[in-house]
Amino acid sequence: MNLRAARGTRDVLPPEVDRWQRVESVARRTFALYGMQEIRTPIFEDSKVFEKGTGEQSEIVQKEMYRFTDLGGHDLTLRPEGTPPVVRAYLEHRLAEGKDVTKLYYIGPMFRYERPQKGRYRQFHQIGAEAFGSEDPAVDAEVIEMAMYWLQELGVESPTLYINSVGDKDDRPSYMEKLVAAQREHLAELSEDSKKRHEINPLRVFDSKNPRDQAVIEKLPTIIDHLSGGNRDHLDRVCAYLSDWGVEFQLEPRLVRGLDYYRRTVFEITSSALGAQDALLGGGRYDGLVQQMGGKVDAPAVGFASGLERIVLAMPDELPVPSVDCFVVTIDESVRAAGLDVMWRLRHSGIRTTADYQGRSLKAQMRAANRSTAPTVVIIGPDEVASGTFTIKRMSDGQQVSSEIDSLAEDIRTLLASEG
């Protein structure tokens, strides 16, 4: 086998693709209930979009981007995440005008150069949602509740929702001083990775899975205990709304997110069905990002992104559904044209129809019909063509009925409907 899908990419083949389509269609239907509209942004952007948006110091921009120069000398990047492009489009097209909140969602591939792993690919797919223009905790809660409702509609098994607040300019600087000081006391006990985190982004020490670090992490001050009055109140109200709406969650003081732009509310939904990459969905509030990306005034915003590969992994198995309703078989070459005519008629009557095109024996065609899982077969031979009456066979029980050419579609529908 010579040609293969590139490392970290994969093909989604027919049995599985049904699940993907379901995730997407349920998302569209659910998000619409919250007044969300779809936005489609380009797969690649000027690299500055991510340098300014994701953050020049972030791991993603530093080492994970598919970044290239095109033939015209432009510095471009395959999008590693969805939020910066949406913010760019929000500003470029002045989507805020005339609106209180602007609610957008996106679906599509993202690209990060990482070592592939269970639930982690170099081309992966996200569904994300963003609400711009309000800092009302009701909007935070609404976005979170929408995500949970969506996963519930998909039947995702026991998702766990974690919530925290990472503060903002009012309380973050003073907290960071305390955190850095506390980390410095235990620096020798920290892993090499965490020492680096301590230098670059001290908050992310909380993310370490290293057992050695855990002991230190236990002793570090948490930001939730150092929130300003306003930010504490904001978090409490988010939680209160969620409780009102029956959403179960856990307050996780050590939850921090990898992206630097989060302010105040952060959240994550995990599934035990996943393994090490257990985050199905993550997000939070990112007040300040709009201005950082060039907005004349800031628009507060909150949103999330979810990993489709991971959601599909966490969904329960389903029985495959037939992809066609009817399979047309022809006895011999003399009735081939009649078979094609019947197929054309059925399709234009809304019956999903296919056939075996190799001119094989009747037995072989029936085998193909059986394999196709088509619930019905129309059998066409010289007798049928002469009389204009065709035989419909129901595969589940072998029952056969005769049908005139003009009532074929209807009779097939009747047979399908009467099937348990």
Partner RNA sequence: GUGAGCGUAGCUCAAUUGGUGGAGCACUGGGUUGUGGUCCCAGCGGUUGGGGGUUCGAGUCCCCUCGCUCACCCCA
- Among 30, 41, 126, 231, the residue binding RNA under the rule CB under 7 A is 126
What residues between 183 and 222 interact with RNA by CB under 7 A? 193, 197, 204, 207-210
- The two three-digit tokens of residue 171, written as one number: 């309380």
- The two three-digit tokens of residue 211, written as one number: 């057992």
Using the minimum distance from each CB to RNA, give the nearer residue, 46 or 193.
193
C-alpha torsion 333→339→341→347, nearest 10: -150
14 CB-contact burial (10 Å; exposed 0-12 / middle 13-18 / buried 19+): exposed
Using the minimum distance from each CB to RNA, give the nearer residue, 230 or 359.
359
Count of CA atoms in the C-beta half-sphere (13 A) of 164: 20
Q: Considering the rule CB under 7 A, would residue 315 count as an interface residue with RNA?
A: no
Q: Considering the rule CB under 7 A, would residue 307 count as an interface residue with RNA?
A: yes
Q: Considering the rule CB under 7 A, would residue 121 count as an interface residue with RNA?
A: yes
Q: Considering the rule CB under 7 A, would residue 58 count as an interface residue with RNA?
A: yes
Instruction: Give the integer Cα–Cα distance in Å for 213 and 191.
Output: 6
Using the minimum distance from each CB to RNA, give the nearer residue, 172 or 257.
257
- Among 187, 371, 406, 410, the residue binding RNA under the rule CB under 7 A is 371
C-alpha torsion 236→240→242→247, nearest 10: 110
Task: Tally Cβ neighbours within 10 Å of residue 398.
Answer: 7
Kindly state the smallest distance separating residue 381's Cβ from RNA, in Å: 3
Q: Considering the rule CB under 7 A, would residue 259 count as an interface residue with RNA?
A: yes
- Among 23, 39, 247, 279, the residue binding RNA under the rule CB under 7 A is 279
Q: Considering the rule CB under 7 A, would residue 124 count as an interface residue with RNA?
A: yes
Q: Considering the rule CB under 7 A, would residue 277 count as an interface residue with RNA?
A: yes
Task: Tally Cβ neighbours within 10 Å of residue 315.
Answer: 18
Question: Could you tell me the CA-to-CA distances from 73 to 46, 52, 65, 68, 69 in Å, in that order?
Answer: 11, 20, 18, 9, 5
Kindly state the smallest distance separating residue 39's Cβ from RNA, in Å: 17
Kindly state the smallest distance separating residue 271's Cβ from RNA, in Å: 10
Kindly state the smallest distance separating residue 172's Cβ from RNA, in Å: 18
Instruction: Give the integer Cα–Cα distance in Å for 189 and 20.
Output: 45
- The two three-digit tokens of residue 120, written as one number: 């982690």
Rule CB under 7 A: which residues touch RNA? 4, 7-8, 58-60, 64, 81, 112, 114-121, 124, 126, 193, 197, 204, 207-210, 257-259, 268, 275-277, 279-282, 305-307, 309-310, 331, 360-364, 366-371, 377, 379-384, 391, 393, 395-398, 400
